[in-house]
Structure 1
Amino acid sequence: MARAPRTPTKTATIRDVARVAKTSTTTVSYVLSNEKRYIRPELRERVIQAAEQVGYVKNAAASSIKGKQKKVLAVVVAQFGNTFFTRMCVEIVSIARQAGYVVMLCNSDEDPEQEKEIIQRLIAQRIDGCIVSPALSQIDNLALLQKQHIPYVVLERSVPGAITDHNFVSHDNVQSAYLATRHLLDAGHRHIAFVAWDSPIPNVRERVEGYRAALREFGVVPREDYILNGPLAESAGVEIAERLSTLPVTAIVFAQHDLAKGALRYFQNNGIRWPDDYSFVVVGTPEWAEVIVPHVTCIQRPEQQMARAAASLLLHAIQDPDRPTEQHVFPSTLVESQSVRSIETAHHE
Structure 2
Amino acid sequence: MKNITIADVAKHAGVSKSTVSQFLNSRFDYMSEKTKKKIEVTIEELNYQPNIVARSLKQKATFTVGVVVANILHTFSTQIIRAMEDAFHEQGYQIIVCNADDEPEKEKKYIEMLLAKQVDGIMIFPTGSNLDLYERMKQMQFPVVFVDRTINNLNIATVMLDNHMAAKLAVDQLVKKGRKRIALVTTSIIRNISPRVERLEGYKNALIAHGLPVKEEYIKSASADKISSVLEKMFRLASPPEGIVAGNDIVLNEVLKFMKERNLNIPNDAAVIGIDEVPFASFFTPPITTVAQPAAEMAKKSVELLLNQIKNKDENEFVDIYRFKPSLIERDSD
Query: When the two structures are superposed, what TM-score results if normalisation uses the length of structure 2?
Result: 0.78
- Quick one: which of 283, 286, 291 aligns to 1:291? 283
Find the aligned partners of 1:169 and 1:266 in 2 and give their Cα distance.
33
| Conservation of the 8 A alpha-carbon contact between 1:137 and 1:159 | no
Partner of 1:179: 169
Find the aligned partners of 1:97 and 1:327 in 2 and give their Cα distance.
25
- Quick one: which of 324, 327, 332 aligns to 1:330? 324
Find the aligned partners of 2:330 and 2:132 in 1 and give their Cα distance.
40
Find the aligned partners of 1:141 and 1:187 in 2 and give their Cα distance.
47
Q: Secondary structure at the match of 1:115?
A: helix
How many Å apart are 1:265 and its aligned residue? 1.2
* Unaligned stretches of 5+ residues in structure 1: 1-63, 341-349
| Conservation of the 8 A alpha-carbon contact between 2:74 and 2:249 | no
Find the aligned partners of 1:124 and 1:66 in 2 and give their Cα distance.
19
Does residue 153 of structure 1 match 2:145? yes
| Conservation of the 8 A alpha-carbon contact between 1:110 and 1:136 | no
Partner of 2:105: 113
Find the aligned partners of 1:141 and 1:157 in 2 and give their Cα distance.
16
**One-letter code of the match for 2:164?**
V
How many Å apart are 1:137 and its aligned residue? 6.1
Find the aligned partners of 2:106 and 2:265 in 1 and give their Cα distance.
41
1:205-232: per-residue Cα shift (whole Å, max 9, x none)? 111111111111111121111101111x
CA separation of 1:189 and 1:137: change in aligned 2, threshold 3 A = farther
| Conservation of the 8 A alpha-carbon contact between 1:137 and 1:157 | no
How many Å apart are 1:277 and its aligned residue? 0.6
- Quick one: which of 204, 229, 232 aligns to 1:239? 229
Find the aligned partners of 2:206 and 2:199 in 1 and give their Cα distance.
11
- For residues 1-349 of structure 1, what are the structure 2 equivalents within 5 Å? 65=57, 68-136=60-128, 138-161=130-153, 163-164=154-155, 166-199=156-189, 200-231=192-223, 233=224, 235-247=225-237, 248=239, 249-321=241-313, 322=315, 324-325=317-318, 326-340=320-334
Q: Secondary structure at the match of 2:208?
A: helix
Count residues in correspondence: 273
| Conservation of the 8 A alpha-carbon contact between 1:137 and 1:158 | no
How many Å apart are 1:182 and its aligned residue? 0.9
How many Å apart are 1:194 and its aligned residue? 0.8
Query: When the two structures are superposed, what TM-score results if normalisation uses the length of structure 1?
Result: 0.75
Find the aligned partners of 1:113 and 1:310 in 2 and give their Cα distance.
24
**One-letter code of the match for 1:239?**
S
Return structure 1 stretches of 4+ with deviation > 3 angstroms: 64-67
1:319-340: per-residue Cα shift (whole Å, max 9, x none)? 1120541321001000000101
| Conservation of the 8 A alpha-carbon contact between 2:108 and 2:130 | no
How many Å apart are 1:315 and its aligned residue? 0.7
* Unaligned stretches of 5+ residues in structure 2: 1-55
| Conservation of the 8 A alpha-carbon contact between 1:170 and 1:306 | yes
| Conservation of the 8 A alpha-carbon contact between 1:158 and 1:202 | yes
1:223-248: per-residue Cα shift (whole Å, max 9, x none)? 111101111x2x32322221221232
Find the aligned partners of 2:210 and 2:110 in 1 and give their Cα distance.
47
CA separation of 1:262 and 1:150: change in aligned 2, threshold 3 A = same
**One-letter code of the match for 1:177?**
A
**One-letter code of the match for 2:321?**
Q
CA separation of 1:283 and 1:263: change in aligned 2, threshold 3 A = same
| Conservation of the 8 A alpha-carbon contact between 2:70 and 2:102 | yes
How many Å apart are 1:258 and its aligned residue? 1.5
How many Å apart are 1:149 and its aligned residue? 2.9
Partner of 2:14: none
| Conservation of the 8 A alpha-carbon contact between 1:236 and 1:262 | no
**One-letter code of the match for 2:269?**
D
| Conservation of the 8 A alpha-carbon contact between 1:240 and 1:263 | no
**One-letter code of the match for 2:332?**
Q
Find the aligned partners of 1:305 and 1:172 in 2 and give their Cα distance.
13
How many Å apart are 1:65 and its aligned residue? 4.5
CA separation of 1:223 and 1:155: change in aligned 2, threshold 3 A = same
Find the aligned partners of 1:182 and 1:138 in 2 and give their Cα distance.
36
The Cα RMSD (Å) is 1.7
